[in-house]
């Protein structure tokens, strides 16, 4: 059985036209979404804010650890001088404080992920028109994630051109609606 030239193709060549052999084809381009975010001015601002906040949290954690270690050593020394009930009360208060600190620090760490995810959503919402514009400038109609490409040619990737266009259009994106701050 032979295929008629009017039947749709069952495969396609990435970076080239796709469609029926008699009709108009579609041009594919790919983009590395992670690189697009990470290397854009917007992404660099976000990642820089997270890095600075991470360093501040590490410093805070070190100070809290030193404080808790000192208190633990103090309790160890007091163990022989306090009656059992008083020691137990102080030890329980210490444990509760240590757990409260752990939970608070974990919440701060989770805030980093929430901030990054929120800013990624804002980034991709703000860049949709730019993506369409670059796609059109490249004469393409379909944009796919580069991770979905099994075989392709380097020319089909438009990440570099899109980063430049996004930087020109939105820069670093300005102040986030919910800045990353540590209480």
The pLDDT of residue 94 is 94
- What angle separates helix 159-170 from helix 41-78, to the nearest 10 degrees? 80
**pLDDT tens sequence across 40-82:** 999 999 999 999 999 999 999 999 999 999 999 999 999 889 9
pLDDT of res. 89: 94
Which pLDDT score, from 0 to 100, does residue 150 have?
Answer: 84
pLDDT at 122: 96
Profile the chain (183 residues) by mean pLDDT over runs of 10 residues.
43 46 74 97 96 94 96 92 92 95 94 94 96 94 90 89 96 88 64
Helix or strand holding residue 28 (H, E): strand 26-31
| pLDDT at residue 69, rounded to an integer | 96
In the prediction, which pLDDT does 42 show? 98
Domain boundaries along the sequence of the chain: 17-170
The pLDDT assigned to 182 comes to 62
Tokens representing 176 are 């986030």
With contact defined as beta carbons under 8 Å apart, do 166 and 42 qualify?
A: yes
User: Alpha-carbon distance 18 to 103, whole Å?
Assistant: 54
CA proximity to 182, closest of 44, 38, 61, 65 = 61
> Within 13 Å, how many C-alpha atoms sit on residue 7's CB side?
7
- The burial of 90, by beta-carbon neighbours within 10 Å (0-12 exposed, 13-18 middle, 19 or more buried), is given as middle
Task: Name the pTM for this structure.
Answer: 0.76
């Amino acid at each position: 059985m032979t295929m008629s030239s009017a039947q749709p193709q069952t495969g396609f060549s990435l970076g080239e036209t796709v469609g029926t052999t008699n009709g108009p084809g579609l041009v594919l381009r790919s983009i590395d979404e992670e690189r697009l975010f990470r290397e854009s001015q917007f992404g660099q601002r976000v990642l820089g804010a997270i890095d600075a906040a991470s360093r501040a949290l590490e410093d805070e954690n070190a100070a809290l650890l030193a404080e808790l270690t000192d208190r633990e050593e103090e309790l160890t020394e007091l163990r022989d001088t306090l009656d059992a009930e008083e020691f137990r009360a102080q030890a329980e208060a210490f444990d509760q404080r240590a757990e409260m600190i752990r939970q608070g620090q974990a919440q701060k760490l989770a805030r980093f992920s929430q901030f990054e995810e929120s800013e990624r959503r804002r980034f991709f919402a703000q860049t949709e028109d730019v993506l369409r514009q670059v796609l059109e400038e490249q004469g393409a109609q379909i944009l796919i994630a580069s991770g979905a490409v099994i075989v392709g040619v380097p020319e089909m990737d438009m990440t570099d051109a899109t980063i430049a266009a996004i930087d020109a259009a939105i820069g670093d994106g300005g102040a986030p609606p919910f800045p990353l701050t540590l209480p």
